[in-house]
Amino acid sequence: MINSMQFKDSITVKKIFDGIASKYDFLNDLLSFGLHRTWKKKLLSKLDPLPGEKWLDLCCGTGDMSFLLAKYVGPTGTIFGLDSANQPLSIAKKRAFENGFLSIRWLNDDALITNLPDHEFDGIVMAYGLRNLVDIKKGFEEVYRLLKPGRRVGFLDFKSFNDQSIFARFQIFYLRNIVVPIASFFGLGKQYSYIESSLKVFPLANKQKEIALSVGFKNAQFQTLAFGQMGILILYT
């Protein structure tokens, strides 16, 4: 089992995502009953990307958010997909090629130190990436630096709990009794047990908002999805 201390280093994170990349999309559909697609679309509907805008998909993985964004911004817009792991990124590139999303630019880099210019983007998204960052505050600082003034970033992730509510207990039940056993069947139980480990050190919604406001964001909104299991955090510069 990957414990939370081992989990929070970037080499381990990269290894996990390189290791699961080939089955990531399949397992995402299976384990969320396809609902991750609805949640991703929900995030974008709240952010409302406009034709011609320049967007960055941080922790893009195999590219789902980048492909959705490309449809919003159209041929006059620009999309960058960035991920630190090579394997998910090569699947994203292959999917882009097969589906004609040839203008998306793929970057193999760290979301905490992107080396992209200041105030470059109209919008940024991060789906299921925030929880994996070694330093969430640093992640918010980097996103703040990259956004133009008066723009927005949206994060979609599991919601973390520090109580014994029915929602918190359901989450543990779902992770231990559905996610890990199914992933184990495909030889990836150890890798998927990381979700529970990562949630143990993932700040609560109010804390996420507090950290974001402390780095300069002007407004922070949090909304739950999927009967409280998932959360959307939207920040405005």
Using CB under 6 A as the criterion, which residues of the chain lie in contact with ligand SAM when the complex forms?
10, 13, 17, 59-61, 64-65, 83-85, 88, 110-112, 127-129, 132-133
Contact of 236 with 219, CB cutoff 8 Å: yes
The smaller minimum CB distance to ligand SAM, of residues 76 and 212, is found at: 212
Rounded CA separation 136/82 (Å): 17
The conformation of residue 225, written as its DSSP 8-state character, comes to: E
Rounded to the nearest whole angstrom, what is the least distance from the CB of residue 135 to ligand SAM in the complex? 9
Rounded to the nearest whole angstrom, what is the least distance from the CB of residue 234 to ligand SAM in the complex? 16
The smaller minimum CB distance to ligand SAM, of residues 44 and 205, is found at: 44
Single-letter amino acid code for the residue at 95: R
Cα angle for residues 116, 74, 106 (degrees, 5° grid): 35
Handedness of CA 224, 70, 213, 202 (dihedral sign): positive
* Residue (of 86, 131, 83, 81) closest to 109 by Cα position: 83
Rounded CA separation 183/111 (Å): 27
Rounded to the nearest whole angstrom, what is the least distance from the CB of residue 166 to ligand SAM in the complex? 25
The smaller minimum CB distance to ligand SAM, of residues 128 and 161, is found at: 128
The smaller minimum CB distance to ligand SAM, of residues 67 and 164, is found at: 67
User: Two tokens at 197?
Assistant: 């480990």
The smaller minimum CB distance to ligand SAM, of residues 56 and 205, is found at: 56
User: Two tokens at 35?
Assistant: 């609902």
The smaller minimum CB distance to ligand SAM, of residues 13 and 146, is found at: 13
Rounded to the nearest whole angstrom, what is the least distance from the CB of residue 85 to ligand SAM in the complex? 3
Rounded to the nearest whole angstrom, what is the least distance from the CB of residue 150 to ligand SAM in the complex? 25
Contact of 235 with 140, CB cutoff 8 Å: yes
* Residue (of 47, 51, 112) closest to 83 by Cα position: 112
Contact of 21 with 85, CB cutoff 8 Å: yes
Rounded to the nearest whole angstrom, what is the least distance from the CB of residue 106 to ligand SAM in the complex? 12
Residue whose C-beta lies closest to ligand SAM: 61
Rounded to the nearest whole angstrom, what is the least distance from the CB of residue 92 to ligand SAM in the complex? 9
Rounded CA separation 39/128 (Å): 11
